[in-house]
Amino acid sequence: MTAAKPARTNVRRSLEARRRQLEADLTHFEAWSMSRLGFGHALVDDGAASFDQATQLTLRQNTERLLAQVTNALARLDAGAYGVCEGCGQAIDTERLQAVIDARLCMGCQRLQERSPLGRITGLKTASIPAPA
Among 26, 88, 112, 121, binds Zn ion (CB under 5 A): 88
* Residue 101 sits in the site that holds Zn ion (CB under 5 A): no
Cα–chain center distance at 117: 26
Shortest Å distance, C-beta 61 to Zn ion: 29
Q: Is 11 in the site for Zn ion (CB under 5 A)?
A: no
Q: Which of 11, 15, 87, 104 touches Zn ion (CB under 5 A)?
A: 87
Using CB atoms within 10 A of its CB, is residue 121 exposed (0-12), middle (13-18) or buried (19+)? middle
CA pair distance 19, 74, nearest whole angstrom:
9
Q: Is residue 76 exposed (0-12), middle (13-18) or buried (19+ Cβ within 10 Å)?
A: buried
Give whichever of 20 and 125 is closer to Zn ion, judged by the CB atom: 125
Of residues 104-133, those binding Zn ion (CB under 5 A): 106, 109
Per-residue x/- marks for Zn ion, 28-67, CB under 5 A? ----------------------------------------
With residues binned 3-state (H G I as helix, E B as strand, rest as coil), the percentages for the chain, rounded to 5, are 60, 0, 40
Site for Zn ion (CB under 5 A): which residue of 11, 85, 101, 103?
85
